[in-house]
Amino acid sequence: MKIVGIIPARMGSSRFPGKPLAKICGMPMIEHVYRRCIQSKLLSDVYVATCDEEIRQTVEAFDGKVIMTKNTHLRASDRVAEAMLKVEAAVGKKIDILVMIQGDEPMVYPQMIDESIKPLVEDEKIKVSNLMAPIKSEEEHADPNTIKVVIDQQDFALYFSRLPIPSREHADGNIPMFKQICIIPFQRDYLLEFSGLAQTPLERAESVDMMRVLEHGQKVKMVLTSYQTHSVDTPGDLDKVSALMGNDELFLSYKK
């Protein structure tokens, strides 16, 4: 199977403008994400998808592959759908599975990508999956930058929110609480179908792409990972990740 990773990145983040080029241990964040993704055993190739010239130049400077996209996309998933078609046109071959890997996950581990892909490889009826991890603290549960997800008994998503769900008020301590990790594999044809769907009210309200899937009556298979990562949504997050990265074994393997 041809499985390709695409990392959407743009300079205009509302919470942290210029975030993809922010330095972590002397290296742009987008370079960390790219170098870690290319170590996945299942990905055939990895590209950065961007509409910004600064990002294109940075990616090409570290010999990464980049696809330029329109600057009108409101959702990362729509950007990667455009990029996928451009990759296919360039290589002359259709992709089987497209993995969207957000550019603000500088401590992503290649094993996480492989875990997320597994359900789509094993069951063609699953059209999209999404990695998740346990929420470790009340602070994380309350953080609007942490996207929470509640799941059914077969690990399909019921709802995503930036608000603290499920409620802790009446919880008996046995209710699992999970956060979304933005590693999202799509079956190729489903990504195009998804991108053609109208944006939905709850997708806009929560600012979560996967709500579009749920609101159109379809399913997202959630995949639990034991790997601990730290996304970067604010300058404060950047400081935390920079402190952790210095002792990260994977970073040491590609450190210049």
- Residue range 182-224, pLDDT digits in tens: 999 999 999 999 999 999 999 999 999 999 999 999 999 999 9
Residue 122's Cβ-side half-sphere holds a number of Cα atoms within 13 Å equal to 8
From CA 138, how far away is CA 153, in angstroms rounded?
23
pLDDT in tens, 33-42: 999 999 999 9
| C-alpha distance from residue 170 to each of 68, 136, 173, 200, 231 (Å) | 48, 18, 9, 30, 29
Phi, psi of 200 (to 5 degrees): -115, 160
Confidence at residue 171, expressed as pLDDT on a 0 to 100 scale: 67
CA-nearest of 55, 67, 59, 63 to 6 is 67
The H-assigned helical ranges of 62-134 are 76-91, 110-122
From CA 101, how far away is CA 90, in angstroms rounded?
21
Confidence at residue 203, expressed as pLDDT on a 0 to 100 scale: 95
Phi, psi of 180 (to 5 degrees): -75, 135
| C-alpha distance from residue 142 to each of 136, 145, 154, 166, 167 (Å) | 11, 9, 26, 11, 10
How long, in residues, is the chain? 256
Pick the CATH number of 3-254 from 3.40.1080.10, 3.30.420.40, 3.90.550.10, 3.20.190.10: 3.90.550.10
Delimit the domains of the chain by residue range: 3-254
> Rounded to two decimals, what is the model's pTM?
0.94
pLDDT reading at 79 higher than 90: yes
Run of H or E residues at 194? helix 188-196
Give the mean pLDDT of the chain: 94
Phi, psi of 222 (to 5 degrees): -90, 140
Q: Where are the beta strands (DSSP E) in 106-207?
A: 129-134, 148-151, 157-161, 178-181, 183-187
From CA 180, how far away is CA 233, in angstroms rounded?
14
pLDDT reading at 256 higher than 80: no
pLDDT in tens, 126-185: 999 999 999 989 999 999 989 999 999 999 999 999 999 998 877 666 788 999 999 999
